[in-house]
Structure 1
């Protein structure tokens, strides 16, 4: 009997999945047909698709002939990937109007109300319209690059490198996902197509600068670095899609007409969140004012700790790949008892200077984390602990005594400093990821104000340990390191 119930449950689950896909497919087909029927959009795209690859190839041939006069034909040939990227990126910028007016355009045309009244969920609606807005720009971009490469092969009889072709397709596909996902977020939060088009510059400009950097990597053939860029783009694509799903709400689309910037209301809500731990001003206990921010940021703190451990393990494990180190030569340069190292450690380090440096690093990384949707804050512990792990492994490779000196140089103040920085970064990560959290009874503004107030409280809790860690680093750590070196090194 349990086998029968299990089989029936699987069939029911399959039927629900088919109904969900059918609902999303109806929305996708409707939007795709509307896009393809609009001749004012399809005609320019067709002209752009067939004309721009030819213009790019003619420009490449002209540059090749010009460079050949100076014996720099290889430089001209390395410009071909940039023209290929431009061939694929231009249709993406033109097609950006499609996702930008996905929701706000239908709202202005008064066709959104019947669509939102359809018996589909918010996720089905978002997925259907998002895929329809994505497929046209992506297909146009990839077709343009393919046509450019085919013409290049026909004219030059030189097949491009497979790594180059895969890199071009990967870059343009992820650019399309990032641009479309960001444009849909703008469309759901805008109240007019004009406002959405103005906000589109925050998508086009950063990706245009990134495109120049990617083209330089293709020019030098730095495919490994390009893989890192592609992984970062993939992470941003996932984050923006998650943000779109989290912020999409059909009732808000129907009810919201125009938002005013209520600075006084925001200031009052922020003060209440800072004073009571609640934007609504509900009374809370004094203990909750200190423990509440830590409890609410506990998940972010655990994530940062796990990432830090992963970074340390990665830095430690990858260090042997650099080869053997000349231990004798390095020990000779240190001098008897590490005298040369003693001189380098005798720098005029002050506790106040170290504290100001650490506090500035926390504030700058918090700002970068907010601008990068938490990605910078999440990967900062990986880089920091990875560098520490790499440095310690190198010192242990040279001599175990130097390895222990490295531990003494990090551990005393690190035991105080790392938890304090972790508290501040956990609040910054939670603040950055607030836009990605699922719908909540609280409004998005209240959640942002509460996260900002919690970050300020966590920063206040981190300041005393940072002062103590700076004092230890300035007055205790050098004596421990020098005493150990004097006793252990020959």
Structure 2
């Protein structure tokens, strides 16, 4: 196309009405496609009566053995399944939104429409979401009507609200994730393969919901709904942020060039942060002293927002752990720190296989492994799991400080002896490592300015490696020496 898309007229504001114009057009096309409507109608009109028959059969069968609770818990489970199956077709429709248009050679007129990227993106996403959602609601209605007339069962208001919200937000997660995939791939085949990253987590989520419904833990369902809302917002933000019309048109074939990836990663690793995006800048040699004096302080300044976020969450976890101390009190006399014997730490290695051995190597390897794991898990969880890995031990520290205080010991003396000596090095190292791991996951949602998703990921990983090797590892090693050799002596001196 000779005319650049940037020269095409755009509306000046993001208008939901304009997005709905695109939505209506796409919905009309979907309603005309029998390949889409036939399975949706079958699941909507035939599957609910089948589940109704199953519920009636199961209820009558368990009644023979005086176990009505099994039938009562089965009905909400089937209600969840009836709503999930039709909404799952939204994934198929969403995967076709952009890459399908490209394969049908209809992408240029679509991208040339005088609308903003946000309007175009939301319009296509809503179009993939509305028809399956209405089918799910219809299926739930048919199922509930059948239950009412067959066994006289009526859904509780809050249970029905939970099922409707679960169906809605699970569908929105699948659609928003699939639209991101569709806008970043070059073929429907590739999009279908990448859809496994959506299908597998959703299948695991359905299994978890099934367990909760059979156990009657309906309060936990609200937490799942809240988590789905957060994931929805993240995926929509990610899709809008990385959506680029020019790249969709110009991208012909996805290729994996390991040589180019290594060249870019090496450049991000060796260049100063202010020159990272300049591929024409000369590639400096590996100079750890220059990186420590210039690159690391610059990166810490650039990462001040994730650093502040991690610090706040660490404090919140510590306070939250202390708040649980009165709820789960340690039995009186269970801990005796008075006249602590000299060999108190000799058998600590046999307490649990999950804890590191009380040696420099064991402590250092454990802490370094956790930071690396944060970086890996942060990539697949938008940084959430990286935060959880640091919040759990800090919550435990807060809990034991509060619990020891309830047993008559000073929590401040406990922290000053058990935590502070090595914590002055270990905690800052953990916070820095977690902040850079968090940025790896956040980079998928919001790549750095001037970078696409792939290059942004390489940049954040390179920054993580640079800081981890040059700053975090030395701090963890020094902390391990203090924790293994000095902290036990301080504890013995205070409590012995």
Task: Decide which of 421, 426, 447 is 1:417's aligned counterpart.
Answer: 426
Alignment TM-score, normalising by the size of structure 2: 0.87
Tell me, in whole angstroms, the C-alpha distance in 2 between the residues paired with 1:46 and 1:234: 28
Tell me, in whole angstroms, the C-alpha distance in 1 between the residues paired with 2:327 and 2:262: 54
**Gapped runs of 5+ residues in structure 1?**
1-14
Task: Decide which of 88, 95, 101 is 1:100's aligned counterpart.
Answer: 95
Q: CA deviation at 1:435?
A: 1.6
Helix, strand or coil for the counterpart of 2:450?
coil
Alignment of 1:290-305 (within 5 A): 290-305=296-311
Task: Decide which of 113, 119, 122 is 1:118's aligned counterpart.
Answer: 113
Q: CA deviation at 1:475?
A: 1.7
Task: Decide which of 9, 19, 22 is 2:17's aligned counterpart.
Answer: 22
Q: CA deviation at 1:307?
A: 1.5
Task: Decide which of 429, 445, 448 is 2:454's aligned counterpart.
Answer: 445
Counterpart position of 2:476: 466
Tell me, in whole angstroms, the C-alpha distance in 2 between the residues paired with 1:383 and 1:138: 38
**Gapped runs of 5+ residues in structure 2?**
1-10, 285-289, 350-356
1:134-183 CA distances to partner (integer Å, 9 max, x unpaired)? 22222222332232223223322232333322222222122111100010
Task: Decide which of 179, 186, 193 is 1:191's aligned counterpart.
Answer: 186
Change (3 A) 1:383 1:169: farther
Task: Decide which of 321, 330, 336 is 2:334's aligned counterpart.
Answer: 330
Tell me, in whole angstroms, the C-alpha distance in 1 between the residues paired with 2:337 and 2:417: 19
Counterpart position of 2:30: 35
Counterpart position of 1:352: 361
Q: Which runs of 4+ in 1 moved over 6 A?
A: none
Change (3 A) 1:438 1:360: closer
Helix, strand or coil for the counterpart of 1:400?
coil
Task: Decide which of 262, 265, 274 is 2:260's aligned counterpart.
Answer: 265
Counterpart position of 1:5: none
Q: CA deviation at 1:318?
A: 4.5
Q: CA deviation at 1:248?
A: 0.8
Is the CA contact 1:177–1:237 (under 8 Å) kept in the aligned structure 2?
yes
Helix, strand or coil for the counterpart of 1:95?
helix
- Identify the structure with the greater helix proportion: 1
Tell me, in whole angstroms, the C-alpha distance in 2 between the residues paired with 1:366 and 1:375: 11
Q: CA deviation at 1:186?
A: 0.8
Is the CA contact 1:377–1:429 (under 8 Å) kept in the aligned structure 2?
yes
Q: CA deviation at 1:289?
A: 3.2
Change (3 A) 1:16 1:456: closer
Q: CA deviation at 1:256?
A: 1.0
Q: CA deviation at 1:339?
A: 4.9
Is the CA contact 2:88–2:171 (under 8 Å) kept in the aligned structure 1?
no
Q: Are positions 1:306 and 2:312 aligned together?
A: yes
Q: Are positions 1:368 and 2:383 aligned together?
A: no
Deviates more, 1:205-214 or 1:128-137: 128-137
Alignment TM-score, normalising by the size of structure 1: 0.88
Q: CA deviation at 1:345?
A: 7.0
Is the CA contact 2:447–2:453 (under 8 Å) kept in the aligned structure 1?
no
Alignment of 1:168-247 (within 5 A): 168-247=163-242
Is the CA contact 1:53–1:144 (under 8 Å) kept in the aligned structure 2?
yes
Change (3 A) 1:424 1:122: same
Is the CA contact 2:90–2:175 (under 8 Å) kept in the aligned structure 1?
no
1:75-124 CA distances to partner (integer Å, 9 max, x unpaired)? 23312222222111111223321111011111122222112111111011
Tell me, in whole angstroms, the C-alpha distance in 1 between the residues paired with 2:238 and 2:452: 15
Counterpart position of 2:55: 60
Counterpart position of 1:166: 161
Q: CA deviation at 1:291?
A: 2.8
Q: CA deviation at 1:128?
A: 1.3
Helix, strand or coil for the counterpart of 1:120?
coil
Is the CA contact 1:294–1:458 (under 8 Å) kept in the aligned structure 2?
no
**RMSD, matched Cα:** 2.5
Counterpart position of 2:73: 78
Tell me, in whole angstroms, the C-alpha distance in 1 between the residues paired with 2:245 and 2:480: 51
Task: Decide which of 305, 321, 326 is 1:320's aligned counterpart.
Answer: 326
